């Protein structure tokens, strides 16, 4: 998620300029102190973010010619991100921390991500045996757990002592947890299979019985007090499609390789001399 957000704050502010008449003297700002024309605005933005923005726009143009993404697919992906961040509030905090306030810009970024995924996985196949192996190792059993994330060990031990004395887990999560995505839900993280959480958390949660509470578990995020609230056994039929998607993504081709091939075929020419290096590829990649 974090990787996907890189430079979006810049992109969001410039993306709409692609539809503008950039040689126009139409004013963007008028005041008693002076005016700023659309061309002046474009040139200033270009000097600060032109290469990154042009690179993304050209990539999107190339991908859209070969692949299609539906509104339904974009909505499903956005829903997936919201679930990963524990709901609407956690999701909003995550994107705002990355400088994203424009919903249309975020939707455009998700579209770009899905186009890249389709390009990178085009033609990739996985066998039934691979899917069955992944199911047995990771997805056959899922746990439902809650956690209380605390920054320092001293406080974590104090909270664990409260739990040992019978205090309510959900209440303490709401009071002490620093995880914005789960604290207001009593620390609930929902169901998940092996390998989804960071290693220390993953090892601890799958060693617990239902209703058992762990000692504080240290990770890069702080100290987690974990409670397993349920376990379920999945069927291969229910998980097959999701596992296939995951394995196909693992076997995907490097997106830079795919884009380089598309750029060669497109025979791109950059007319703005100041942006000739924007795509950071050589003449042999089809850039004139």
Other beta carbons within 10 Å of 116: 19
pLDDT of residue 285: 39
Residues 6+ apart with CB under 8 A from 201: 147, 217, 219, 224, 226
pLDDT for res 257: 86
Residue pLDDT tens, the chain, 288 long: 334 443 343 344 444 444 444 445 578 777 777 788 877 777 777 777 677 777 777 888 888 888 899 999 999 998 888 887 777 877 787 787 777 777 777 888 888 889 988 999 998 899 999 999 999 999 999 999 999 999 999 999 999 999 999 999 999 999 999 998 899 999 999 999 998 899 999 999 999 999 999 999 999 999 999 999 999 999 999 999 989 988 998 888 888 888 888 878 877 777 766 666 655 543 333 444
pLDDT at 44: 77
Report d(CA 269, CA 287) in Å as an integer. Answer: 6
Secondary structure (3-state) at 189: strand
First to last CA, the chain: 34
pLDDT of residue 216: 98
Structure tokens at 199: 């290693």
Q: What is the pLDDT of residue 282?
A: 34
Closest to 265 (Cα-Cα) out of 36, 29, 45, 65: 65
Where do runs of H (alpha helix) occur along the chain?
Answer: 8-14, 38-66, 71-84, 88-97, 103-121, 128-134, 153-164, 169-176, 199-205, 236-250, 255-266
Q: How far apart are CA 135 and CA 119, in angstroms?
A: 26
Q: Can you give the pLDDT at residue 96? A: 78
Residue-by-residue DSSP string for 219-230: ETTEEEEEEEEE
The pLDDT assigned to 15 comes to: 43
- Rounded to the nearest 10 degrees, how much is the dihedral formed by the CA atoms of 230, 233, 239, 242? 30
């Amino acid at each position: 998620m974090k990787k996907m957000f890189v430079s979006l704050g810049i992109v969001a502010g410039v993306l709409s300029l692609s539809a503008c008449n950039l040689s126009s003297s139409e004013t963007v700002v008028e005041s008693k102190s002076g005016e700023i024309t659309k061309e002046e605005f474009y040139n200033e933005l270009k000097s600060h973010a032109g290469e990154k923005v042009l690179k993304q726009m050209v990539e999107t143009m190339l991908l859209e010619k070969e692949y299609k993404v539906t509104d339904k697919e974009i909505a499903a992906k956005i829903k997936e991100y919201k679930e990963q961040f524990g709901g609407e509030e956690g999701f909003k905090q995550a994107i705002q921390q990355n400088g994203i306030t424009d919903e249309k810009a975020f939707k455009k970024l998700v579209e770009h991500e899905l186009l890249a995924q389709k390009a990178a996985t085009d033609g990739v196949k996985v066998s039934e045996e691979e899917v069955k192996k992944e199911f047995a190792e990771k997805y056959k059993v899922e746990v439902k757990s809650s956690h209380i994330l605390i920054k320092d060990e001293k406080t974590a031990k104090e909270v664990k002592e409260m739990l040992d004395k019978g205090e309510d887990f959900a209440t303490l999560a709401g009071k002490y947890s620093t995880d914005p995505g789960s604290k207001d839900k009593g620390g609930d993280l929902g169901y998940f299979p092996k390998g989804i959480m960071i290693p220390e958390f993953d090892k601890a949660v799958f060693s617990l019985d239902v209703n058992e509470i762990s000692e504080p578990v240290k990770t890069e995020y702080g100290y987690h007090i974990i409670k397993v609230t349920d376990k379920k056994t999945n069927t291969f039929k229910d998980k097959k499609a999701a596992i296939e998607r995951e394995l196909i993504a693992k076997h995907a081709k490097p997106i830079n390789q795919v884009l380089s091939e598309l750029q060669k075929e497109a025979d791109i020419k950059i007319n703005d001399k100041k942006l000739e290096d924007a795509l950071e590829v050589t003449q042999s990649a089809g850039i004139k």
